[in-house]
Every structure is written in C-alpha cells, then in structure tokens.
Amino acid sequence: MVSNFALSIKILNMERLQHNQIIKEQFAKQAVGYSAVKAHGEALSTLIEMSGVHQNDLVLDLACGSGIVSCAFAKHAKHVTGIDITPEMLDQARQLQTQNKLSNMDWVLADVDPLPFMDHQFSIVVTRFSFHHFLAYEKIFEQMVRVCAPGGVVMVVDVAVPASKCSAYDQMEKLRDPSHTGVLTPQIFRHLFSHPLLTDFKTADYKMNISLNTQLAASYMTDENKKKFRQLIYDDIYKNNLGVSASLINNHYELYYPVHIYMATKTKT
C-alpha cells in the first residue's frame, strides 16, 4: 500500500513535470522575440554595479533564458554558467554570446530544482524574471544559497507587487503567459533574504516600461485572451489595480512593471 506521504510526493512531482512542460512550450515560442524586447535589456548596469562583479568571479545565472544577464556579467567576470530548461532559449543565448564575442561562458540544459552543481561553486548566483514561474521558489532559493560560496552574493530580480494587487496581477499575466505561477510581494522576498546564511541585505527597484502593443506582440495569446488582456489594461488606466501603472501617453498605452532587485552576501562562517 502506498503511504499518503509517498502519494503526495508523487502528485507534487507530476505537477512539477507538467508545469516544466508548460514553461518549455511557452518559452520555445518566445525564444526568438524575447531578446528583441528592448525593456528586457534595461537596468543591466544596475545589476552589475550592485553585484560588485570582478575578473575573478564565477557566476551562475539561474533560468538564464536567452542569456541577456549572463552575457552582461561575462563582460566582467572570469566565467559565467547559464542554466535553463528550454533548449530554444539556450540556442538564443549561444547566439548572443557569439554576437558579443565572449568565450568565458557555458550553458547547461537542466532543471534548477535541484541545481546540478557542487556546494559553494559560484561567487555570484543571480536570477532574473524567474521566481514568478517557480512552483517551489523556497526550495530553489535554498539551492541558490547552497551553491554560493561564502563571501559570495545571491541576487534575485523580479516583479514584486503589494499583496492587495497580487490576484489582479496574476489574472492579467496568466492570460499572457500560462507558465506564470504567481507574483511575489516585497515582503516575501525580504523573508527569503532573511536566511540565516545571508547578511548585508540590499535592494533597489525600477520601473520596466513596455508598451501594450509590444507586450502583446512578444506574447503568444489566443485572440480571445488578447482581447481580455487589452480590456484589463484599458479598465486600469490611472487606477493601478493591476500593479503595472497602466497609462495612456500620446495615444499609446504604456505599462510600467515594478521590478525589484534583492541581494545579500553569504556569510563566511
């Protein structure tokens, strides 16, 4: 007889496999167009400056996607490893590496839970725009801390909204991206970074501006979902119930995603 615990684990594993498949399907579609969205390349200089990356650093970019963050760090670090679950995204990452003439990089096709790396292997462990896709973000954060070397830094960059806006934001994003699991709040991120092995917590934030038309063009939605997405934005102009400060500027609908950067140093003892 299978125990209730074993059955629960089996169900959770099945859910994770199904969700990972949704992620792969979604980002296989988005792969070519993702890097072309100008907003996705913004604020890289802030990440680089906050991290304090230098020529001796070994960097891990978790859920690296098309390699935008990986390549930015590779221009300053000794070596960068990018890991992602979607082959098509890594194809784009390799192309970006070639365009930037970077030789100090490698790419790993694998799930991030668990991370297939040794303890204390990297001096910088970073991930951007990934936590809202994770079913078990707490476990993955623990993995990030595990592979970070003492004295190294852990960085997470993602949209974060107040708890009062989470439900509306998730409704909007799931129309656009079925792999979206749920937006986190600043309080949740701060709780994660209160980890006993982390210290010297720092944070920054910025607004990622993307037009409604650009967002729709970069997404793969049914016509019905596009219509619903548009209507949600139209109804939210200057109300900000969705959390993206939807605005009408010179007859163009603009979205301003609240992106937060969280960073802490792993203790040396």
The CB density around residue 262, as the number of other CB atoms within 10 Å, is: 22
Give the pLDDT confidence of 93-151 residue by residue, as tens digits. 999 999 999 999 999 999 999 999 999 999 999 999 999 999 999 999 999 999 999 99
- In the chain, DSSP assigns E strands to 58-62, 79-84, 105-109, 122-128, 148-159, 198-211, 247-249, 252-266
What token pair was written down for 58?
Answer: 């070994």
Cβ neighbours of residue 104 closer than 8 Å, sequence gap 6 or more: 74, 77, 78, 79, 80
What token pair was written down for 258?
Answer: 């609240």
What token pair was written down for 153?
Answer: 């830094």
DSSP for 150-200 reads EEEEEEEEEEB--HHHHHHHHHHHHHH-TT---PBPHHHHHHHTT-TTEEE
**More confident call, 218 vs 38:** 218
Determine contact, residues 88/28, Cβ cutoff 8 Å. Answer: yes
**More confident call, 239 vs 28:** 239
Domain ranges of the chain: 4-164+178-207+259-266
Give the pLDDT confidence of 174-208 residue by residue, as tens digits. 999 999 999 999 999 999 999 999 999 999 999 99
Question: How far is it, in rounded angstroms, from Cα 128 to Cα 126?
Answer: 7
Give the pLDDT confidence of 16-74 residue by residue, as tens digits. 788 888 888 877 777 666 666 677 777 999 999 999 999 999 999 999 999 999 999 99
The one-letter amino acid code at 45 reads S
Phi first, then psi, for residue 124 (nearest 5°) are: -135, 125
4-164+178-207+259-266 CATH: 3.40.50.150
Contacts by 145-148, CB closer than 8 A, 24 or more apart: 145/195, 145/197, 145/198, 145/266, 146/115, 146/119, 147/60, 147/115, 147/117, 147/118, 147/119, 147/120, 147/121, 147/122, 148/120, 148/122, 148/123, 148/124, 148/266
Determine contact, residues 183/173, Cβ cutoff 8 Å. Answer: yes
Question: How far is it, in rounded angstroms, from Cα 218 to Cα 243?
Answer: 20
* Pairing relationship of beta strands 105-109 and 198-211 according to DSSP bridges: unpaired
Q: Tokens 């609240």 map to which residue?
A: 258
**More confident call, 5 vs 119:** 119
Distance of alpha carbon 26 from the chain centroid? 14
Determine contact, residues 170/235, Cβ cutoff 8 Å. Answer: no
**More confident call, 12 vs 170:** 170
What mean pLDDT comes out for the span 168-172?
99
